[in-house]
Amino acid sequence: MTALFPLFLLIVGFAALILGANWLVNGATSIGVKAKLSPLIIGLTIVAFGTSLPEMIVNVFSCIKGSPGLAIGNIIGSNTMNILLILGVSSMIYPIDVSRISIRRDIPAGFIATFAITLMANDFFRGTSGTICWVEGLVLLGMGAGYLWLTFKKNSDDSEDSETQQELPWGKTIFQLVLGIIGLYLGGELVSRNAQILALSWGMSESTVGLTVVATATSLPELITSIVAALKKNSSIAIGNVLGSNILNIFMVLGVSSLITPLPFDTHMNHQLMILFAANAIMLTTVFTGKGRKISRFEGSILTLGYVAFMLFSLYN
């Protein structure tokens, strides 16, 4: 019974995060349209980062409040869910076509990002206790900046689906921005505080709570975005959303988090990192099996079952 109220507040916090991120993205996108920014820049900056805002806010609040153990688990869990569950469910709704540029740039960037945090978390560079420090955080941010630069350079002539770029009246734009900031603040406060309380009451480590409960909830924006895209048969948005979010989660979210405080790494989570590597490899394999560069409905069901196995394994450990 004592855990019911913190659990309720945790759910309220997640709802505030998702609504806040949506409002903030809508308001910021409207400003981008008013400023006559190209749809590509709006999509790659505002919309792509918007789906990673819940992870960012939860990690920042957790680090500030002395619960940095949530941070790495949140990102590993979110990225694994993005690949196995979100891509799996989306491709079961409608098979996903994978572009050449995603195969050449985005999927390798996901592998590099995962490899980088594996080395950093296991002290390959410093040989000290298991943490990701501020210096490594700066390296991650630099790698993220390099990825964004490469993305802009290679796609200068491309255009994004303009359906999501909507210009709002100034009053509504500012109102949504304010609501978004308030929602993100309250959501981050509630999630970081009550996740720590639940970890203690359930006898679970902060990293395990971050890996399962928090990661699942903070990935809901990606899940909703990808499912809607799949229902509209817009597979490029579905996979672009997942790949972009995974790369930003590691380079930007973990980079910023480690600037606030060193991020401790539970070595037991090396198993989950290996699963994340395997998820990336399975995703790449599905692209090249069958007809064309597609993730089929059958392959999507395999990915989805893989996520169920991942969750059971994480909770059992």
pLDDT in tens, 76-118: 999 999 999 999 998 999 888 887 777 888 889 999 999 999 9
The residues, any chain, with a CB within 8 Å of residue 287's CB and separated by 6 or more, are 98, 103, 107, 293, 294, 295
Query: What is the arithmetic mean of pLDDT over 126-131?
Result: 66
Identify the CATH number of the domain in which residue 178 sits: 1.20.1420.30
Amino acid 43: pLDDT: 55
pLDDT in tens, 136-167: 999 999 999 998 888 777 655 444 444 445 67
Phi–psi pair at 292, nearest 5 degrees: 70, -175
Query: What is the arithmetic mean of pLDDT over 201-224?
Result: 78
pLDDT in tens, 28-52: 778 777 777 655 456 556 666 777 7
- 8 A C-beta contact, residue 110 and residue 241: no
Whole-number percent of the chain with pLDDT over 90: 22
- 8 A C-beta contact, residue 254 and residue 263: yes
> The domain containing residue 77 runs over which residues?
4-316
Print burial letters for 111-135: b (CB count within 10 Å at least 16), e (below 16).
eebbebbbebbebeeeeeebbbbee
Amino acid 301: pLDDT: 93
Rounded (5°) CA angle 144-135-17: 55
pTM exceeding 0.85: no
Cα dist from 87 to 103, 229, 286, 289, 305, whole Å:
15, 11, 11, 16, 12
Greatest CA separation for the chain: 57
Query: What is the arithmetic mean of pLDDT over 52-78?
Result: 85
pLDDT in tens, 239-267: 777 888 899 999 999 999 999 999 988 88
State the average pLDDT for the chain: 81
Q: Which residue has the tokens 């909770």?
A: 315
**What's the domain count of the chain?**
1
Pairing of strands 96-97, 263-264: unpaired
pLDDT band at residue 238 using 50, 70 and 90 as cut-offs: confident
Rounded (5°) CA angle 183-186-187: 80
